[in-house]
Amino acid sequence: MRTKLFLLISVLVLASLVLGACQPAAPTPETIIQTVVVEGTPREVVVTATPAPAAAGPKVLRLNMGPGDIPTLDPALATDTSSTQIIELTSVGLTRQDEETADVLPGMAESWDVVNNEDGTQTMTFHLVSGIPWVRWNGKEVEQVLDCEGNPRYVTAYDFEYGILRTLKPETASDYAYVLGFAIKGADAYNAGETDDPTTVAVKALDEKTLEITFKEQAAYNVNIAGMWVAHAMPKWLIEGDDCTEARGDKWTETGFFQGYGPYTLKEWVHDSYITLVKNPFWPGLPSVPVAKIDEVTWTMLDEVPAFAEYEAGNLDVAGVPLADIDRVKADPELSQQLVIGPVMCTYYYGFNTKAKFVDDPRVRRALSMAIDRQSLIDNVLKGGQEPAQWFSRPGLTGAPTPEKYPDLGVKFDPEKAKAELQSYLDEKGLTLADLDITLMFNTSSGHQKIAEAIQQMWKEYLGLDVKLANQEWKVYLKTIRDPQATPQIWRLGWCQDYPDANNFLREVPTKGGSANPAEGGGFNWENPKFEELVVQAARETDPQKRVDLYAQAEQILVYEDAVMIPIYWYTRVTVTKPYVQRTFSVLGGLEHIEKWDITQ
């Protein structure tokens, strides 16, 4: 009986090897000569079997970032979603937004205390997690960064203090420093160069685990601002150098130099081609930022049309759906199951250089805005369930108006009124339509081009106006629209929430010194004291309904009375994802928390 049992076990082992052939990418079956013992005599048994497959390799996720290079990986200099996507995976702020609910959660600060001061300011004391090291990719693996004594460098409150002050330092030339300037006591004067004393900024590391920040106003969104990428910890020893580290200056974010401390770190950045992040094995995991499951993440830099072709060919795991393919994807039995359309807290808009010829008159700007049939654009071009935008701040944000309560607010499609506004301008100036030389510029993308061409046709149909189109690569484009000497008459942008409050849209984008309205010129090139007063008053208002009313008044000035922007639609996301990718779907607009994703094949 023992000999039969031994033979049976041998056959079962071989059978298990054969069953292994059912797994993906199995080795080629081969002939195996197996020696068994039967009735006490060794015998050779010939069996055709497949050896067990090799151990699974690393989990690699393949994504697309969009055409054009990522502008920067420097938290102090980033202004766009491509840059912040990488920054938010390679470093973590004091707080962190949940990507599905937009709720604020602890990040590197495990807790914080809030004191509302008698002078109307608010002091927040952040208590940091300890023992998280800075890391780097050394060309072969991820390693901890060591100090001059050979000990690991751990992230401290001093690194966050340095990061905030570096962002605010005028020499850094951070386009996003205005956020901290609006919010933190003493930050605006330091950023403007009115003082060169950084101690006048109310940011102070009390010890390695404790950071104190005093904000100008007692606002609920202060805790969100404290967690933004411009306030992340930054490696002073790498940027400025120390006794054992060479100063890398603005090159510190390049391949081979980069240091971070998030769930991923930079492995390779081939400019204008691709970027790869690798899992940080020293990241311990936090409640809001778990240990990553996917080993490597690579983003290509393709337009959405070739990227979608790569997805269909099996070379990408996630992709946006090009406008021309949406109907086909919805009808396809497999692709339709991979398609997800969902809300995103972003607004797509066109901005005006209000000092540029022809569009320096609000009648022209209003006419161009009212001549856009937003619903037709959504139904016939976008086809992704977007909503026509009558104003800038997306409904759903705290303080933002809603169409239900403010149905007549803002701007709507009204071709007859648009034509009358434009004719009023032409009559006063003694011009004809043929005299108007107007150009719309957008960043290079097949999707943006289709939208621009549709709107160009609407302007021709409803106003009789021929508008030229121009485009530039993303990194160059961002500089162009902020350049006082080069800002086009009309330019395209989208704005996605940094935190879910109307203040992030109405105060931080169009006010003088805001993201799209630089103090030195460029962008909107616009200033309205009444608008500025309204958004500051709204930020301080504690009554929720009064606050919404104030923002509604500000919106009316922005998109109708002064008409400095054309709100076009409130976003949705239209993406396909391979079935083997387990993921979350972010509402934050271009910011995915990939450390929560997994690959199951």
Nearest-CA neighbor of 162 among 226, 207, 224, 205?
Answer: 205
Compute the distance between CA of residue 212 and CA of residue 516 in angstroms, rounded to an integer: 30
The distance from CA 5 to its chain's CA centroid, rounded to whole angstroms, is 62
Residues of the chain with pLDDT under 70: 1-56
- For residue 575, which of 298, 304, 302, 319 has the smallest C-alpha distance? 319
* Identity at 426, one-letter amino acid code: L
Residue 56 confidence (pLDDT):
66
- Between CA 222 and CA 230 the distance in angstroms is 14
pTM, to two decimals:
0.85
Which residues, in sequence order, are CB contacts of 526 under 8 Å at separation 6+? Answer: 354, 510, 512, 517, 562, 564
Count of alpha carbons within 13 Å of 192, Cβ hemisphere only? 12
Task: Identify the CATH assignment for 60-305+578-599 out of 3.40.47.10, 3.40.190.10, 1.10.3720.10, 3.90.245.10.
Answer: 3.40.190.10
Q: Tell me, what's the pLDDT at 94?
A: 98
Q: Which two tokens stand for residue 58?
A: 């690393």
Cβ-in-10-Å burial (0-12, 13-18, 19+) of 366 comes to: buried
- Written as one string, the DSSP assignment of 231-272 is GS---HHHHT-BTTB---GGGTTSTTT--B-SSEEEEEEETT
What pLDDT shows up at residue 260?
Answer: 98
- Paired strand residues for 440: 469, 490
Residue 479 CA: distances (Å) to CA of 269, 483, 514, 565: 21, 6, 15, 19
Cβ–Cβ under 8 Å, residues 340 and 585: yes
Q: What's the helix, strand, coil split of the chain in %, to 5?
A: 35, 25, 45
Q: Which helix (H) or strand (E) holds 297?
A: strand 296-300
CA distance 4 to 9: 9
pLDDT at 7: 31
Which amino acid is present at 539? A
Q: Assign domain 341-573 to a CATH class.
A: alpha beta
Answer yes or no: same fold for 60-305+578-599 and 341-573: no
Q: How far apart are CA 342 and CA 339, in angstroms?
A: 10
Q: pLDDT at position 589, please?
A: 87
DSSP label at residue 501: B
Report CA Rg, the chain: 28
Q: How many CB atoms lie within 10 A of CB 598?
A: 14
> Domain-by-domain residue ranges, the chain?
2-49, 60-305+578-599, 341-573
Please tell me the predicted confidence (pLDDT) of residue 57: 83
- Distance of alpha carbon 230 from alpha carbon 216, whole angstroms: 18
CA dist 525 and 40 (Å) reads 96
Per-residue model confidence as pLDDT tens digits over 49-89:
334 344 468 999 999 999 999 999 999 999 999 999 999 99
SS3 432: coil
With both helix axes pointing from N to C terminus, report the angle between 362-370 and 446-463 in degrees, rounded to the nearest 10.
110
For the stretch 121-130, pLDDT in tens is 999 999 999 9
What whole-number distance in Å separates Cα of residue 45 and Cα of residue 43?
6
Instruction: List residues bridging with 203 in a β-sheet.
Output: 213
